[in-house]
Each structure stands twice: as structure tokens, then as C-alpha cells.
């Protein structure tokens, strides 16, 4: 395994000015100001993002390589990470993987020129929360940033759910039933979280598609049914009671069956 070493110098740009800043010298931001870390090695893109997000009211730090970006993400208190993939020293894939392995739960938006379906799926499966391809419109990026920050705030309000013997911790991303640890992919976890936040509600397939996959529902595909089947296979097949119920012709509902 490659041993990582870090430079103490990380680029930080705030409120229109720049300077070299050591993480332990960072001033404490006001409680109501959200902090965003950008890891981007292309100078013009980094400055453009920093200027736009600062003007939108955020406190922004910018790291121009993977090592410094990973170090800041591990040691800083950030509300969101905007991360390029093709970075010097450590690439974005590995940064996502290492942060999630360390139980760092900050939302991650991958911003990259790699735009194939395979790249998008890889990023989301590794644990990123959203994926935006360059070139991009800043208005769209800002909307995605705000959406991710709203989701992050919701997690803070209610970070653990229990339904029957199913226990889910949204911060540590741990899932168990009857004391048995269950391993889910990033997308399976997101789907389960959506069910939990709407416990007892019948969720149409179209709503699941738009909220979990951010896509329009195609009635000719069984992608949603396949995803739910896989999730059931992990949290229901070996346990009682069965929690995810099918509502024929409509969608699904997560609830404890009557009489259980």
C-alpha cells in the first residue's frame, strides 16, 4: 500500500483573495456559514468555482492536488466536497474511497471531464453523492450544491432509524438486522434511506426513479424493480418480518406488516 505524505501548504481562496494557508491556522467560520472544499488542479476552473461559490455566500477552501485535498477533507470541518477525478498525486476515485472508508460522511460532488455512464456509475458506487460533467453551467452546479447541502442538513436532524429489528445509522452508514451487519452499496444505501424517510408511505416507481436516481421513469424498464429486489435480498430475505412490501401497479412501501 502506498504511504501518503502531505505538504503543509494548501491553497485557500476566500472572499476574493488568496494565500497559502496551513489547516491548523484556519479561522473558525461563523456558525451559519457553510464551508465547501474544492479539490481542482486546473487553475482557471478552481478560481471560477471559488469566486462563484464565495459570491453565493459560502466559505470556500481550494486545494490544487489530491494529497492536499485529501488531507484537508480528513482534518477540516466541511459541509461539502467538490472533487475533480484526474488529480496529481492522488486521484478522485481514491479520495472518495478513502474518505468513505474513514466514515467521513460529508456530501461529495464529483466534477470531472470523465462523462461516460461507466464513470458515473463508478463514482456513485464508490460513495459520491452526485456527479457533474465538465463543461458545466454554474447555475446547475450551484443548484446541485444546495440540494446536497439540504440533504446533509436532514441527516443531522435525524441520523438513525429503526424499523422492527432493522437499524440504520446514516452518519456511519451502518446497517444491521437482529444484530447482523449488512453491507450495502452506495446506491442501495441511498434507496434504503429514501424508504426510511418515507416509512409507511406508498412510493411510486416514478418517484423512486426521480429522487434516488435523478432520472425520468421509463415504464419499459424494470431497473427500479431490480434495484428493490437486490435491496430486499439483503435486508429481508433472511429475516422476519419482511419490511419492503409491493403495492401492485403502483410501487413499494417500507413498513412493519399488520400483526407483526
Domain ranges of the chain: 10-157, 160-254
The alpha carbon of 194 is separated from its chain's Cα centroid by a whole number of angstroms, namely 13
Residue 48: what are its φ and ψ, rounded to 5°?
Answer: -65, -45
Q: Using N-to-C axis directions, what is the helix angle for 223-235 and 205-212, rounded to 10°?
A: 80
* Predicted local confidence at residue 8, as pLDDT: 38
- Low-confidence stretches of the chain (pLDDT beneath 50): 1-3, 5-31, 154-157
Distance linking the first and last C-alpha atoms of the chain: 49
**The CATH number fitting domain 10-157, selected from 3.40.430.10, 1.25.40.10, 3.40.190.10, 3.40.50.2300:** 3.40.50.2300
CA distance 66 to 158: 32
Q: Give exposure, 25-55, as e/b (b: 16+ Cβ within 10 Å).
A: ebeeeeeeebbbbbbbbeeebbbebbebbbe
* C-alpha cell read off for 57: 455566500
- CA distances to 14, 79, 103, 168, 235 from 180, in Å: 46, 31, 19, 12, 10
* Predicted local confidence at residue 33, as pLDDT: 74
H-helix or E-strand spanning residue 229 = helix 223-235
- CA distances to 26, 111, 117, 131 from 124, in Å: 31, 12, 11, 8
* C-alpha cell read off for 216: 425520468
Residue 60: what are its φ and ψ, rounded to 5°?
Answer: -125, 130
* Predicted local confidence at residue 209, as pLDDT: 86
pTM across the whole model: 0.51
CA angle in degrees (0–180, nearest 5) for 94-99-104: 165
- Within 8 A by CB and 6+ apart from 193, the residues are 168, 170
* Predicted local confidence at residue 3, as pLDDT: 44
CA distance 120 to 116: 6
Exposed/middle/buried for residue 249 (C-beta within 10 Å: 0-12, 13-18, 19+): exposed
* Predicted local confidence at residue 214, as pLDDT: 67
**The CATH number fitting domain 160-254, selected from 3.30.1600.10, 1.10.10.10, 1.10.260.40, 3.40.50.10890:** 1.10.10.10
Amino acid at each position: 500500500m502506498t504511504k501518503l505524505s502531505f505538504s503543509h501548504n494548501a491553497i485557500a481562496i476566500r472572499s476574493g483573495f488568496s494565500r497559502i494557508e496551513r489547516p491548523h491556522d484556519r479561522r473558525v467560520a461563523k456558525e451559519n456559514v457553510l464551508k465547501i472544499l474544492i479539490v481542482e488542479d486546473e487553475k482557471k476552473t478552481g478560481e471560477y468555482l471559488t469566486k462563484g461559490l464565495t459570491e453565493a455566500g459560502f466559505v470556500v477552501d481550494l486545494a490544487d492536488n489530491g494529497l492536499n485535498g485529501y488531507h484537508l477533507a480528513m482534518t477540516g470541518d466541511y459541509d461539502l466536497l467538490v472533487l475533480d477525478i484526474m488529480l496529481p498525486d492522488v486521484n478522485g476515485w481514491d479520495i472518495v474511497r478513502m474518505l468513505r472508508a474513514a466514515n467521513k460522511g460529508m456530501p461529495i460532488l464529483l466534477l470531472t471531464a470523465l462523462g461516460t455512464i461507466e464513470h458515473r456509475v463508478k463514482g456513485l458506487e464508490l460513495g459520491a453523492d452526485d456527479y457533474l460533467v465538465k463543461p458545466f453551467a454554474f447555475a446547475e452546479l450551484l443548484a446541485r450544491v444546495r440540494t446536497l447541502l439540504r440533504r446533509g442538513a436532514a441527516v443531522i436532524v435525524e441520523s438513525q432509524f429503526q424499523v422492527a429489528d432493522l437499524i440504520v445509522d446514516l452518519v456511519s452508514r451502518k446497517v444491521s438486522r437482529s444484530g447482523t451487519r449488512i453491507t450495502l452499496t452506495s446506491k442501495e444505501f441511498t434507496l434504503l434511506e429514501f424508504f426510511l424517510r418515507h416509512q409507511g408511505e406508498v412510493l411510486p416507481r416514478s418517484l423512486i426513479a426521480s429522487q434516488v436516481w435523478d432520472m425520468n421513469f421509463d415504464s419499459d424498464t424494470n431497473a427500479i424493480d431490480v434495484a428493490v429486489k437486490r435491496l430486499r435480498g439483503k435486508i429481508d430475505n433472511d429475516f422476519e418480518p419482511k419490511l419492503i412490501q409491493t403495492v401492485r401497479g403502483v410501487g413499494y412501501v417500507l413498513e412493519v406488516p399488520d400483526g407483526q
